[in-house]
Structure 1
Amino acid sequence: MRNRDKIFVMVVDDHILMREGLKQLLELEEDIEVISQAGNGEEALDKILQDEPDVILLDINMPQMTGIDVLRRMKDLGLNSKVIMLTIHDDREYLFETMKIGANGYVLKDSDADSLIKAIRNVIKGKTYIQPSIASMLVDGMNKDDNEQDDEVKKIESLTKREYEVLMLIAEGLNNKDIASKLFISEKTVKNHVSSIFKKIEVNDRIQAAIFAFKNNIKKI
């Protein structure tokens, strides 16, 4: 029987040194245990079904079956493991794709240990985690023409003060329960605010809302 005080992690990367390095790094933490590893997407899916990890660290670029393919297949199968994408600076287009599919976190491969550990602990609590430098990468160079800028301003101005506060907290990775606690309102009220925000800023999920917030300096990076 599993020790529920621990977070059980699976590492998926085609480089064995990367996998072993992450395993040694993570297991310095008392609440994290690496229970399995995989070197390609097909092997990963087999082991996810077998081991049912709490959190999967998933490399985007792999031979045979990419991390994107693995994530998409996991969603098709209804698997509940949280997924943190491991990426490099050149993966911008892939990142947007994984956002649409529904990854829970995004961390650069060359990030420090604290970022990765924070990501794992955040996603297991139902939060999302976007490493700040990744958010910067995603919005960097997004030149908006005057019309688009006006549209963005109108979207922001359409938000109530409370919706603006909720959007900032979404961008920080908080889930509805945590937002409710922080703002001293009910979880149902938060859910209503989130639905209204999504409609007003024309996004479909929390990751897209967070990127909107980063892009428009609603949350400082």
Structure 2
Amino acid sequence: MASEITKILLADDHSLVRDGIRLLLEEETDLDVIGEASNGKEAIEMVQQTMPDILIIDIRMPEMNGIEAVQWLNENGIAVKCIILSMHDSEEYILNAVKAGASGYLLKDTDKSEFIKAVRTVKEGGKYFSGDISNVLVNNLFNQSSTQQKVEVKPSKEVPFDLTNKELKVLELVLSGYTNKEISEKLENSKRTIETHRFNLMRKMKVKNLIELSTKAREFDLV
């Protein structure tokens, strides 16, 4: 007996990101990407038109961000399960996503096996979260009585250069003299992921070497 096909809608303002996720998902015979959106408003319109099983949506997008779109769908009784996909692992983003009605929250450096597991878990009615949030916090959150009141979505505290929590951790370890291999072991990420974080640090902070990185990090009280 053939597996039931899970219909998925992708929403991200970067076409390359959407292409990558589509390729990853469609390697699985039971997952089908039926549409793509480039902002929150477009995602809402396409959900109503195509009625996917799951909406995978980024947080930061033009027109309407991902959390606002998930909140709108939830408040208006649109039967679609939502997974937030983001580079931000701050607790505040995660809590706002949950309050808005998201069934899952994945970081963009999540590996394929975890990504697929999350999609299937959410399709079956479960919840799936990755990133720096404890199981206790998630359980407490979902044990609270659910009400259909409007959720005020507050942006997380601004960090200089728009660095994520993970990038700040990598920055601290880099400036403490740890190698990429040692950092990957400490943070339980692949060496390639750590190299990507280092590259993003240099790009965001507009520095060319370790000395400039250290100087600017101290100038902005990042370490």
Give yes or no for TM over 0.5: yes
In structure 1, the partner of 2:207 is none
**CA shift at 1:115, angstroms?**
1.1
For residues 62 and 100 of structure 1, the distance between their equivalents in structure 2, rounded to whole angstroms, comes to: 19
* One-letter amino acid matched to 2:116: I
**1:204 deviation in Å?**
3.7
Equivalent AA in structure 1 for residue 40 of structure 2: G
Q: Distance between the aligned counterparts of 1:50 and 1:78, measured in 2?
A: 15
Deviations 1:21-74 (A, max 9, x none): 100110000000000000011111110000000011010111110001101110
Q: Which has the higher helix share?
A: 1
- Distance across 1 between alignment mates of 2:7 and 2:78: 15
SS in 1 for 2:82: strand
TM (norm. structure 1) is 0.59
How far does the alpha carbon of each residue in 1:90-147 deviate from its partner, in whole angstroms, 9 at most, with x for none? 543222111112210111111111111111100111111112xx1xx235xxxxxxxx
Q: Secondary structure at the match of 2:73?
A: helix
State the alpha-carbon separation in 2 of the partners of residues 100 and 72 from structure 1: 8
Q: Distance in 1 between matches of 2:90 and 2:22?
A: 23
The answer to whether 1:21 aligns with 2:20 is yes
- CA distance, structure 2, for counterparts of residue 4 and residue 13 of structure 1: 28
Q: In the alignment, is residue 12 of structure 1 matched against residue 11 of structure 2? A: yes
What does 1:122-161 align with in structure 2 at a 5 Å threshold? Answer: 122-131=121-130, 134=131, 137-138=132-133
What is the correspondence of 1:45-60 to structure 2 with a 5 Å cutoff? 45-60=44-59
- Deviation digits for residues 123-174 of structure 1 (CA, Å, limit 9, x no counterpart): 111111112xx1xx235xxxxxxxxxxxxxxxxxxxxxxxxxxx98x95xxx
4+ aligned runs moved over 2 Å, structure 1: 89-92
Q: Which residue of 2 aligns with 1:178?
A: none
Name the SS of the counterpart of 1:98 in structure 2: helix
Which whole-Å CA distance do the structure 2 matches of 1:4 and 1:29 have between them?
11
In the other structure, the counterpart of 2:64 is 65
Question: SS at 1:138's partner residue?
Answer: coil
Partner of 1:110: 109
The structure-2 alpha-carbon separation of the partners of 1:44 and 1:106, relative to structure 1 and needing over 3 Å to count, comes to same
The aligned amino acid for 2:48 is L
In structure 2, what is the equivalent of residue 35 of structure 1?
34
CA shift, 1:89, in A, is 3.3
RMSD of aligned Cα (Å): 2.4
Unaligned runs of 5+ in 1: 140-166, 172-193, 206-221
| Alignment partners' CA distance in 2, 1:82 and 1:90 | 20
- Secondary structure (helix, strand or coil) at the match of 2:133 reads helix
Q: State how far apart, in whole Å, the 2-side matches of 1:56 and 1:99 are.
A: 14
CA deviation after TM superposition for structure 1 residue 75, in Å: 1.1
Matches within 5 A, 1:67-106: 67-106=66-105
Alignment CA distance shift 1:27-1:20 (3 Å)? same
Contact 2:104–2:128 (8 Å) recurs in 1: yes
Counterparts of 1:109 and 1:78, CA distance in 2 = 28
CA distance in 2, matches of 1:85, 1:14: 14
> Secondary structure of the residue that 1:30 maps to in structure 2?
coil
Counterpart Cα distance in 1 of 2:53 and 2:117: 15
State how far apart, in whole Å, the 1-side matches of 2:68 and 2:103 are.
15
CA distance in 2, matches of 1:112, 1:12: 19
